[in-house]
Amino acid sequence: MTTVSERDVQLLRDALGPLRDREQIAERLLDSSAKHSFDPDKELDWEAPAEDGKWFWPPELVSLYDTPLWRKMSEEQRMELSRHEAASLASLGIWFEIILMQLLVRHIYDRPVTSNHVRYALTEIADECRHSMMFGRMIKWSGSPDYPVPRVYHNLARVLKTISTTPGSFASTLLGEEILDWMQRLTFPDERVQTLVRGVTRIHVVEEARHVRYAREELRRQMVTAPRWERELTRLSCGEAARVFSVCFINPRVYENVGLDRHEAVAQVKASGHRAEVMQSGAKRLTDFFDDIGVLNGVGRRLWKRSGLLA
Ligand SMILES: [Fe+2]
Ligand SMILES: [Fe+2]
């Protein structure tokens, strides 16, 4: 007869615990998805034209805000810049979401198809799918061109989304979601901003809250259970992702398109104390969490500091 020792039972419990948690969390997130999901095509008035005298993005969150160049610009030109920056951020959002959809599909490929965890991942893919259509529609509505990231980063992400391991995928997901989310939380209640942009950001904030929860819980689990090499790789790839993210955040073509000198504008944004503060405040919730679960140890911290997102 085989006897099972106390220690075996404990080992089994430890191994199953995270899986049980994972199922319970996914169940709660599925509940929340059932209650708070939106169809942007029906929810928002896409026929309404842009309102005169309103911003497309809160001025304080526009990259050049409070720089010498900003002080020389007319109010009209500043608002124009906000229109192009909103489109640039929406383009970045779509890029991220398309990457994320692929990462999620890869994440569930080997997992039990009837689990809550997989069902929730599919729900999130459906959310992101609607978001990307919504952002695309918003860019078109605003009359601005779209702003793809530079080719080299577009291709770098092609590699990442194909080979990245689970913790690396969730860490970069959070990077993409949390900073934009922080900005959108300031945008949707702001009455100076276009009604349609407020509607888009409100939908995104509501649906994004559960995505952040899902990614955080999974990354926290992974940073305990993943082998050492994978945790090290996550620190490295996440730090590199932070650098790429801050380089790609605003496409410099926006400056040319409002009649500014691109190099001068980029240099002034880089030198802007206000901008550094905005980016670091936006990243704060995320960097605190990463610090807590050990993503910022060693080389990770150096890369994050270099990206300008960590003070
Ligand atoms: Fe999204
Ligand atoms: Fe998301």
Asked whether the predicted pLDDT for residue 1 surpasses 60, the reply is no
Q: What is the pLDDT of residue 7?
A: 66
The predicted model gives 274-280 an average pLDDT of 96
Nearest ligand for residue 177 CA: 2
State the distance from the centre of ligand 2 to the C-alpha of 70, rounded, in angstroms: 32
Nearest ligand for residue 173 CA: 2
Asked whether the predicted pLDDT for residue 18 surpasses 90, the reply is no
State the distance from the centre of ligand 2 to the C-alpha of 124, rounded, in angstroms: 7
Average pLDDT, the chain: 91
Q: What is the pLDDT of residue 10?
A: 61
Amino acid sitting at position 118: V
Model confidence pTM above 0.85: yes
State the distance from the centre of ligand 1 to the C-alpha of 20, rounded, in angstroms: 27
State the distance from the centre of ligand 1 to the C-alpha of 131, rounded, in angstroms: 5
The predicted model gives 283-310 an average pLDDT of 91
Give exposure, 166-181, as e/b (b: 16+ Cβ within 10 Å). bbbbbbbbbbbbbbbb
Q: Domain limits of the chain? A: 8-42+59-307
Query: How does pLDDT run across 286-299, given as a tens digit for each residue?
Result: 999 999 999 998 88
State the distance from the centre of ligand 1 to the C-alpha of 97, rounded, in angstroms: 6
The predicted model gives 248-275 an average pLDDT of 96
Name the 3-class secondary structure at 60.
Answer: helix
CATH domain 8-42+59-307 topology: Ribonucleotide Reductase, subunit A (1.10.620)
DSSP 147: -
Q: What is the pLDDT of residue 214?
A: 86
Query: How does pLDDT run across 220-233, given as a tens digit for each residue?
Result: 988 999 999 999 98
Asked whether the predicted pLDDT for residue 123 surpasses 50, the reply is yes
Q: Is 146 left (phi over 0), alpha (psi -120 to 50) or beta?
A: beta
The predicted model gives 79-107 an average pLDDT of 95
